[in-house]
Chain A
Amino acid sequence: MTVSPDTQMPGHRLGRPMLLDQLLRHKGGAFGLAIMLLFIFLAAFGRFVAPYDPNANDYVSLLSSPSASHWFGTDELGRDTLSRVIDGSRIAVAVAFLSVSIAMAVGVVIGVVSGYFGGYVDAVLNRSQDVLFAFPTLLLAIILVAVLGPGLFNASLAIAIVYSPRFARMARASALSIKSSEFLDAARLAGVSTPVILIRHILPNVLPPVIVLAALSMSTAQLAYASLSFLGLGVSPPQADWGSMLSKGRDFITIAPWLVIWPTVALVLLMLAFNVLGDAIRDVLDPNHSSIGKNPDTLL
């Protein structure tokens, strides 16, 4: 057999640039990534950037409006709002990554196992996830924190438990569709063992939509934590935290609106970054559309 005409391909760039590279060339991706990195930077090095100690009191200027010395104003104890917003990003970023990582790890394992193996395994895992899903998100998180006790890790764990079913569901659906695909039959015929099939064939094809969901979930997970914190179930004072800052600032909303405005701006900005980044990742990860800038609705 000689080389036939259909072996000639039009000049097609070989390989695929790294995910990061593609994200940077995606408008939304670059924006989301920049904002997220800014917050991660503030979370890591905020203490060196912040103009004041976030917990230091300045009794000369209580509830002072934004000025040259206090850009974002001060609160009822004379603490600098800018420094506290910066310090609060530590908690926000930590909770977003911690809770979503746990939720993703637990959810993907449950979803892949129940989707791939089916039968009783699926029935048991799926029902238990349905039970979790039936609760309103925040209510379940509040119950869990009440049981576990407040604090950064416990709140993250509670949010992770509440969020894991959505990851499990998505992973299960993908695993189900991949399970009956021809390339999986081919792998079984080749004699590939079940663990290798799960890791090599199922997981990589399950992950892309899950990663998109993870990025989008970070935004709501962070909001859920802010809500818990607003209700006093987050980190304990005096640690600065956007949710608790809002809660305190509410008492002074008419005379010192900056106490509510700046944490909210930070919260919204970080959520926006996660959302835009999630959409960008979705555009980039689709294996059949390596070019970017297409209508995101047609992808995935």
Chain B
Amino acid sequence: MLDTQSDEGYITADGRKIGGVAMEMRNITLRFGGVVAIKDISFDIRWGEIRAIIGPNGAGKSSMLNVISGFYHPQEGEVIYKGYKRPKMKPYQVARQGIARTFQNIALFEGMSVLDNIMTGRMHHMKANMLQQALWWGRASREEDENREQVEKIIDFLEIQHIRKTPVARLPYGLKKRVELARALAAEPSILLLDEPMAGMNVEEKEDMCRFILDVNDEFGTTTVLIEHDMGVVMDLSDRVVVMDYGKKIGDGTPDEVRGNEDVIRAYLGVSHD
């Protein structure tokens, strides 16, 4: 165990109990050639909390999410997950450790039905080997059935029963976002990463999405990290907020603390730099 500082967490304003540290980012620096996307950022994510990352465009938020999900490998710093330093691993290995995510520009599998998309999210819960699958025998058919049941629960939860067998390509934007959330949830993740889950939605759809995120957190206790531009949404939803600007962390704390932070106000309102 590298991590010794796992304290007992805290109680949120609305009375939810937040656990110890699930993941800790330590001094992450990420460069693309000469461009520094993330500069020496540290923060932690606790079990059960909704953690937001905010910041102006190009602040490095999505890069941060990509570091967490293992798509980018930072040049410096380390990721501590469940108390252990995470070695450099492929994105699919990270996913297998219980980190699921959605994408900024929807990344659903357009050629497949909604059901198949969500079932793909459950692939780590299916262990039948190729021969069993080829013969559709023993484990293969049993697993398919059991996982289908789990998936149906999520379908019910997100209220997408009516489009279950629709090819994803035919769905409108808002529903696609919801299906993507369903796919991530199907994995039963320890940590759920949401990259701008409400981008491009109208008010009604945003309200629905907020409700789902809160319900997911409530029902399954899923630790959630989200990137979002809508300040109102972020302040309402999240327990703690990291604020980034030009690849640096300029604020970290509860929504109220962040709201009062001088640097944050400057980054958002554009007070003249002198």
Does chain A bind chain B? no
Binding site for A on B (CB under 8 A): none
Binding site for B on A (CB under 8 A): none
